[in-house]
Chains A and B, each alone.
Chain A
Amino acid sequence: MQLTGKSKAALIIGLLPAFLIYTVFAIYPIIQSFYYSFMEWDGFSEMEFIGLQNFGNLFQDELFWNSVGNNIFVVIASVFGQIPIALFIALLLNRKIKGLKIFRTIGFLPVVLSTVVISLTWSLIYNTKDGMINEILRAVGLDFLAQNWLGDTKWSMVAVCITVIWQFVGLYLIIFLAALQNIPEEVMEAAKMDGASEWVTTWKITIPMIWDTIIVAIILCISGSLRTFDLIYVMTHGGPSHSTDVMALYMFNETFSNLKYGYGSAISVFIFFFSLILIGIVKKVLGQKFI
């Protein structure tokens, strides 16, 4: 875009308030985190400069790597759960069917609900004694399938991920629907004239046409999963036995419960670079320029 002097000034003035707020509340704290990550600090006493020791400890901290592993599990489950399901439903809804608006609203509903409400509701559904899932399984005689979903380390992560997927499918559904509706009619018509089947049209026309949107959705999905915190905090507190601990939760506990502000900041810094690198790789793989 060409900017004349006048509109440039208007742009700066327009951006300034947002930029200032962003600097004070986002950029400055990030820089501060970098600074704290070189310190040993309990939040009260004098800070002590210890160089890279926090990072040294971090790389030897088994519980931390456990949380990284769990977090990658959430990322993979989200990307391969949320995106395909949302895309599939969006393709189904992208035709003239009755009650489209109702389906759309239902699909989007979990996104609007407060995470705490979702977490508590799903905790009840998963409850081993009288939760909905186990009750149904028992009612139809599948007792052996009933599990202590959140209380068993084998199942807790799976159970949490299902809830995460359920919560965010609606968001990507709306994004995909909007993209699908932007595909020009003519292209579709042309495909039909050439005798392409539904299947071929979907794979050869529709998906390539919204590929950019899909990439954006995947990036959103990864960055969202990397900082997942509230849902797990309410559902399991990272337990049992650290089986659902994720990076942000581990950072929170180390910083505020164990009063290791310096160490917590080092974890934040790690999350920052980890996310940056992961998203960079994904963009490269999916064939888009980084930043």
Chain B
Amino acid sequence: MKKLGILVLGLLLLFSLTACSGGKEKASGDGKITELTVWNDWTENRPEYKVYKDIIAKFNEENKDSIHVKIESIPHDQYETKLRTQAAGKQLPDMFRVWPGARIAPLVEGNALLPLNEILDTWEGKIPEGIMKDYAVDGKQYAIPANISETSLIYYHKDAVKKAGFEEFPKTYDELKDLIKALNDEKVTPIALGNKAIWPLQSVYISTIGDRFTGSEFLPNTLSGKSSFTDENFVKALSVVEELAKLKAFNEDFNTIDEAQSRTLFNSGEAAMHFAGSWAIGPILEGVDNIDNIGVAPFPSFSGEGDTEKISGAAGGGIALNAELSGKKKEAAFKFLEYFYGDELYQGLAKSNIVVPVQVEMDDSIPEIYQTANGFAQGGLAPVYDATLTPELTDMINNGLQSITIGEKTPKELAEEMQKENEQGKK
């Protein structure tokens, strides 16, 4: 009798444990209102996130009898790890924010995403093909871009550059080196860099510098085995980073502070230049005292084979759908995407100084550096390294560039290492 009592108690405990996991199943589908959950990284207090959220709120209001979209935000740095872990456990939400290129490829391979080709007509002629394809794999579209993230821009303090003897921002790499030397002589930090998280030197610097040397076909060709990372031009691109470090172009602590900290250094005027993507426009406009003193320039020209007009960039802000959506939920999700990626979104984003893939009208109230940055996207976009390379290669070049800056590795060694991984990874 006593044994039975224990057994019952044990079973009860077991049930109370399992009940927690089973109880979450929502009563969606059978009710009148279809509920959709969207995961994103809109946790910071940024104007563009407010635009996203406002549009979702409006959509919910207009469809309050049939659809409700629920927002769940996860901090950016943990977001992708969480997404991948949940995908591994087949527990993805209905909709989720994704990044383009190599970063959605594993999700596509794992059949976790629903193609959007049925509803693509909505954006036909509005969003350029070249931007759309960032979110496409093998001819299938998996998300719609909301913005363009240019990864390589040079922000500079106009007065500091002038004081160093330059009326105009340098157009060639040799001139840029002269500027760096002149700034060093004046005891001004030339470039504010925060490379602790090891991606800036790759994403911001090498994406465009590499493209200037090798041309945009290099990365796809190398990944498919038609050319090699040991290519002389690629090694030259890596050597630029080595040379900049040797010239003492960066703040002394660049390997121990993060990207946002380096921006503070620039905003305070301690450093004359800051190389960063279009994501820095907002924080810089907010952080500096005199907006008119800030200029933005494209990367200088290098004596390479690439197009000197291009800067690296990729589409962003896409929301993908769970491959398991069907019936009512699928319809509702399609309806939501068509509504979300509408004129209102792009206008709202442009007002928040985000570079968008569609033509929007601009008036004088829009700051100069945003207009200039927006203009650079017209020259065409070069591939961003971490959106194109496999995760292993990205990790390798990130760490390798850091090693180059402290003299632990030579550009040639890194190139050889990457080529070895490239050949092994394909087998």
Which residues of A come within 8 Å of B, CB atoms? 9, 12-13, 16-17, 20-21, 24, 42-45, 123, 126-129, 148, 150-153, 236-237, 239-242, 253, 256-261
Contacts and interface: CB of A to CB of B under 8 A. Distances in A.
A259 B406 contact: no
A17 B110 contact: no
A280 B132 CA distance: 58
Nearest to B86: A43
Contacts of A123: 256
Interface stretch (B8-16, B139-147, B356-364): B8-16
Nearest to B110: A44
A240 B402 contact: yes
A97 B200 CA distance: 54
Given A13-B9, A153-B408, A256-B81, A45 B253 contact: no
Given A42-B106, A43-B84, A241 B409 contact: yes
Contacts of B81: 256-257
Contacts of A242: 399, 403
A43 B17 CA distance: 26
B112 interface: yes
B406 A151 contact: yes
Nearest to B409: A241
21 contacts: A13-B9, A16-B9, A16-B10, A42-B109, A42-B110, A44-B87, A44-B88, A44-B111, A44-B112, A153-B406, A236-B256, A237-B197, A239-B402, A240-B405, A241-B399, A241-B403, A241-B406, A242-B399, A257-B391, A258-B395, A259-B106
A240 B87 contact: no
A151 B6 contact: no
A83 to B, nearest CB: 29
Contacts of B9: 13, 16
Contacts of B2: 9
B60 interface: no
Given A128-B253, A236-B196, A237-B196, A259 B391 contact: yes
B196 A253 contact: no
Interface string B388-410: 00011001000100110110110
Contacts of B252: 128-129, 148, 151
Given A12-B6, A44-B107, A237-B196, A20 B13 contact: yes
Given A16-B10, A240-B403, A43 B255 contact: no
A250 B402 CA distance: 17
B253 A148 contact: yes
Nearest to B391: A258
A85 B408 CA distance: 35
B85 interface: yes
B251 interface: yes
Contacts of A257: 81, 391, 395
B198 interface: yes
Interface string B224-247: 000000000000000000000000
B256 A127 contact: yes
Interface string B85-104: 10110000000000000000
Interface string B308-325: 000000000000000000
A205 to B, nearest CB: 47
A43 B87 contact: yes
Nearest to A150: B256
Contacts of B256: 123, 126-128, 148, 150-151, 236
Interface string B41-81: 00000000000000000000000000000000000000001
A256 B253 contact: no
A151 B253 contact: yes
Query: Which one of A13, A123, A237 has the highest number of Cβ atoms from chain B below 10 Å of its Cβ?
Result: A237
A253 B87 contact: no
A242 B106 CA distance: 26
Given A20-B13, A237-B198, A258-B391, A43 B85 contact: yes
A237 B255 CA distance: 10
Contacts of B6: 9, 12-13
Contacts of A16: 9-10, 13
Contacts of A256: 81, 84-85
B406 A45 contact: no
Interface string B102-134: 000011011110000000000000000000000
Contacts of B406: 151-153, 240-241
Nearest to B400: A241
A111 to B, nearest CB: 25
Nearest to B21: A24
A94 B325 CA distance: 66
Nearest to A154: B406
Interface string B167-197: 0000000000000000000000000000011
A1 B51 CA distance: 67
Interface string B291-334: 00000000000000000000000000000000000000000000
B153 to A, nearest CB: 25
Contacts of B251: 129
Nearest to B81: A256
A254 to B, nearest CB: 9
5 nearest CB pairs, A to B: A44-B110, A43-B88, A241-B403, A151-B255, A150-B256
